[in-house]
Amino acid sequence: MNVLANKGYRVMALVVGKEASAMEIVGLVGLYDKPRKDSAKLIARLRSLGISVKMLTGDSLPIAKQMTQEVGLGDKVTRMADVESTASQDALFAAEVVDKSDGFAEIYPEGKYRIVKGVQAEKHVVGMTGDGINDAAALKQAEVGIAVSNATDVAKGSASVVLTEEGLSNVVNLVVTGRMIYQRILTWIFNKDC
């Protein structure tokens, strides 16, 4: 099972038997959730715009590491339980761990919220993408909560932006347009006759 997990597969055991004490494993099924083809390109583009990208997932550590490597994020993936135990001992070191991690594994919805709050406490502006009810609190907390086009109504209601096309490639357009508007507002303020 570990061999499959280390390749990014979730593993389901097939068992037979009439009673729990007499169950016999007859096979394993590897389930693979392939990343979108444009993920690596999107991450590279966001990084070229000076944006740090991190993955937050409920998947196990081996699966999360495989996914971050496949999409070009790196291999510094931290279990959320490790972040929480470090935070209870040394909050500054925990903030450093969060900052240097490429992703977080085995994370629950409240962990996503805590990661967003922790990054904001370090004076970073946070954008968060999500699609489910489990992402709602973190989407609402982030300065830019981004719900994907097929997100649940709760996620869309919690987000400040809802993408209208499938995938995340429009996030780049969102960043570029937002920066352009910000620059125009600054230019107008500085050039306004008072």
- List per-residue pLDDT tens for the chain, 194 residues long: 678 877 778 888 889 988 888 889 899 888 888 888 889 999 999 999 999 999 999 998 998 999 999 999 988 999 999 888 887 777 777 778 888 899 999 999 999 998 998 888 888 999 999 999 999 999 999 999 999 999 999 999 999 999 999 888 899 999 999 999 999 999 999 888 65
Kindly report the three-state secondary structure assignment for every residue of 112-178. Answer: HHHHHHHHHHCCCCCEEEECCHHHHHHHHHCCEEEECCCCCHHHHHHCCEECCCCCCCHHHHHHHHH
Q: Which residue has the tokens 């009673």?
A: 19
Sign of the Cα torsion 124, 132, 31, 4 reads: positive
The backbone torsions φ and ψ at residue 79, rounded to the nearest 5 degrees and listed phi first, read: -70, 140
What angle, 0 to 180 degrees and rounded to 10, lies between the N-to-C axes of helices 39-48 and 170-191? 20
Cα separation, 145 vs 99, in Å, equals 19
Give the pLDDT of residue 8.
76
Give the pLDDT of residue 105.
94
DSSP run (H or E) holding 14? strand 9-16
pTM for this prediction: 0.80
Cα separation, 86 vs 143, in Å, equals 26
Give the pLDDT of residue 133.
94
Give the pLDDT of residue 193.
66
Q: What residue spans of 7-144 are helical by DSSP H?
A: 39-48, 61-70, 80-89, 91-100, 109-121, 136-141
